Amino acid sequence: MQKSDLQLPGPTSETKRPATPDPRALRILAKSIFKELRAQGYEPQQVVSFATEIIALVTDDISPSSR
């Protein structure tokens, strides 16, 4: 897998999960993504940039102006 190959599937009716997943599952997912990014050669600052982008997307999604 190369850096450009890192893509997550969009949500579909088959991939949607309950709104309140198990917090342990989210921790496992985060740890897996972190390990994969580091294994692919991403530097710590790049991982922070990735996390910042995720937070920005979530912020946009939950902001009242985006609805």
Residue 64: C-alpha distances to residues 10, 55, 59, 60 (Å): 22, 16, 10, 9
In a domain, residue 60? The reply is: yes
Contact assessment for residue 38 and residue 47, using Cβ atoms and an 8 Å cutoff: yes
52 falls within a domain = yes
Confidence (pLDDT) at 7: 64
- Please give the pLDDT value at position 22: 87
Structural domain contains residue 16 = no
Has residue 48 been placed in a domain?
yes
**Residue range 13-48, pLDDT digits in tens:** 555 655 777 889 999 999 999 999 999 999 999 999
Instruction: Decide if 12 is inside a domain.
Output: no
**What is the arithmetic mean of pLDDT over 56-65?**
94
Q: Which residues form the domain of 47?
A: 43-67
Tell me what pLDDT residue 11 has.
61
Residue 26 lies in a domain: no
- Domains in the chain, number: 1
CA–CA separation, 49 and 63 (whole Å): 21
Residue 58 falls within a domain, yes or no?
yes
Query: Does residue 18 sit in helix, strand or coil?
Result: coil
In the predicted structure, residue 52 carries a pLDDT above the cut 80:
yes
Does pLDDT of 8 surpass 90?
Answer: no
In a domain, 35, yes or no: no
